[in-house]
Structure 1
Amino acid sequence: MAIETSSDALPNTEIEILAKRLLSVANANLIDDFPDTQIGVSIGIAEFPRDGKDANSLILAADSAMLNAKSLGKSRFQWAILP
């Protein structure tokens, strides 16, 4: 999952709260008939214009951050790393 935001949208703390809420929902057993089934979510967050000046560069930055979150373990979010 990628979250793209602009610097004038939400403060970083609110974005992190949103990311944590998304992770907690994904970690809940969503399917009552299959209680052993879990959904894994890794979230990458990119911010405009810091991490990209156009949609393509923002998606690439968020995707890179998501892959970094995956490499760190399950159910995490990660901000894009500045170039």
Structure 2
Amino acid sequence: VTADIPLAAELVENGVHVISPRGEVFDKENVRERLSIRDFMDSLRVTGIETGGPRPFGSREKQTFGAALDRTLTKALKH
């Protein structure tokens, strides 16, 4: 479980199951997209543009994370 997108990308490349704290399951396709978005937002911040942050973490995010963790563990145990 990580919110660190570069770390998630590296882990996915090495075959590790990765989930964000908000319940997003990373795979080879979507982690590249998230890495590109992260790099773009970082370049905006470097130029002084405020990009805001993530929305507050609430019960919906907790539920999404729990469901994603359950699916990922079930899938991993079947292999």
TM over 0.5: no
Structure with higher helix content: 2
TM-score, normalised to structure 2's length?
0.28
More strand by share: 1
Could you state the TM-score of these two structures normalised by the residue count of structure 1?
Answer: 0.27
